Amino acid sequence: MIDRYTRPEMGAIWSERTKIDHWVQVEIAVCEAWAERGVIPEDDMQAIRGASCDLDRMKEIEKETDHDVIAFLRAMGETVGTASRHIHLGLTSSDVIDTALSLQTIGAIDHLVSEVDLLIDAVGKEAIRHRHTVMIGRTHGVHAEPITFGFKLAVWYDELRRHRIRLLEAREMIRVGKISGAVGTHANVPPDVEEDVCKHLGLEAAPVSTQILQRDRHAQVITAIALLGTSLDKFATEVRHLQRTEVRELEEPFDAGNMGSSAMPHKRNPHETERISGLSRLLRGYVTPAMENIVLWHERDISNSSSERIIFPDAFILIDYMLGLMTEIVSDWVVYPDRMRANLDATFGAIFSQKVMLSLVEHGLDRQVAYKIVQRNAQKAWNEEIHFSELLKQDPEATAHLDDAAIDAMFDMNYHVQHLDRTFERLGLVETAKQNS
């Protein structure tokens, strides 16, 4: 991933240095298991415990071997001396690569979960802050009925909590290693060695493996990341819509010194949320190779390897960047409650049509008849910019069932948002609000 979208912590997790350090860790853990069984003498084990791998030396050897694991073993062996004959005993390359990848992925998921928690907290605080900030709810992009901005954010809050669960489920699925040798039969490394090594590394031994860990596990990880990224795209798209000049209910942070356009100095463009939308397309694209990597020939082929070298680091680095950016946006955005209220009145009360129709039905009118009365007046209100309530008071078919006081009562905003506190209670946000106050 390019430096522009790489944050230090996640970048370090997916660095070449970290990957090779995990390879060393796996090889030493295997040697420890062999030593416990008397296969490796203690003097040799002491030397192996101090092993390392010089990346420059490894790359130099790889130019000759065209095989990164063999180059790694030679470079690591050079730091050990004659005891190096015990390293990689009974193993195949994927024992090291796949087990180390699991360790790397677990570390990356743990970091992601902490970043998701920060975003959940930021969204939750804004949901509480704006739980009574009334705005229009839209379906098909058209005004529907009133909601609150806090309610919109409560939906995001719950969605993010589900993504947290998915990441932890993917973590558990990838928290396995394999030290089962070529084609996975344990012919040269017994199952108890595998079990001890995995336990030492904080992993479970895969119940069965071929020469590799099966890639449905890895596809679940990438899919969980892509799903999270797609929700971030959803949130970003909402911000972008609400920032449009004609709407202007919400705006990305725009710090002093920022410039929105090279040509038009007045512009404040939603460039950060547009960036999130663009990057999410990459994440969704990574799902396809992750799925394709499940389908390998017989007990293994290596067609998964090349794409995994790209999609795993890139997916984690991108989603980490996107989470950090979205947290900054949510924490510092500008909300325009007055504009929300003004937009809510743009249809001159037509948004209360459902309540009026239901009231007519409650007073004995056939639903289809009530629908036609309401539709006629609501559309006239919208088109001619006359308040819907005034038109109803002038319509004999409506006033035959509803007096002026009843009509006025149906335009009470609280009717539409009166139950939203219950939604916040379900999410635990009301209790949070009480604690904060």
pLDDT in tens, 253-305: 977 677 666 677 777 888 999 999 999 999 999 999 999 999 999 999 999 99
Domain containing 352 — which CATH number?
1.10.40.30
pLDDT in tens, 235-253: 999 999 999 999 999 999 9
Q: Is 261 a catalytic residue?
A: yes
Last-in-domain residue among 336, 364, 396: 336
Q: Based on the domain organization, do 94 and 84 belong to the same domain?
A: no
Q: Based on the domain organization, do 230 and 264 belong to the same domain?
A: yes
Domain membership of residue 206 (yes or no) is yes
Domain containing 295 — which CATH number?
1.20.200.10
Q: Based on the domain organization, do 315 and 358 belong to the same domain?
A: no
Given 52, 114, 261, 306, which residue is catalytic? 261
Domain membership of residue 1 (yes or no) is no
Give the C-alpha separation, 402 to 43, whole Å.
Answer: 96
Give the C-alpha separation, 213 to 83, whole Å.
Answer: 29
pLDDT in tens, 36-54: 999 999 999 999 999 999 9
Domain membership of residue 267 (yes or no) is yes
Q: Based on the domain organization, do 218 and 173 belong to the same domain?
A: yes
Q: Is 186 a catalytic residue?
A: no
Domain membership of residue 380 (yes or no) is yes
- pLDDT, position 416: 80
Q: Based on the domain organization, do 195 and 273 belong to the same domain?
A: yes
Q: Based on the domain organization, do 207 and 141 belong to the same domain?
A: yes
Q: Based on the domain organization, do 217 and 332 belong to the same domain?
A: yes
Helix locations, 175-215, DSSP H: 191-201
Selection from 94, 3, 11, 25 nearest residue 305 by Cα: 94
Domain membership of residue 166 (yes or no) is yes
- pLDDT, position 435: 58
Residue 357: which domain range? 346-417
- pLDDT band for position 100 (50/70/90)? very high
Q: Based on the domain organization, do 160 and 208 belong to the same domain?
A: yes
Helix locations, 244-302, DSSP H: 271-292
Domain membership of residue 435 (yes or no) is no
Q: Based on the domain organization, do 172 and 281 belong to the same domain?
A: yes
* Interior angle at CA 59, CA 54 and CA 62, nearest 5: 125
Domain membership of residue 187 (yes or no) is yes
- pLDDT band for position 436 (50/70/90)? low
Average pLDDT over residues 13-19: 98
- How much of the chain, in percent, has pLDDT values that exceed 70? 97
pLDDT value at 437 more than 60: no
Domain count for the chain: 3
Given 140, 266, 298, 419, which residue is catalytic? 140
Q: Based on the domain organization, do 170 and 280 belong to the same domain?
A: yes
Residue 387 φ/ψ, nearest 5 degrees: -60, 135
Q: Based on the domain organization, do 107 and 180 belong to the same domain?
A: yes
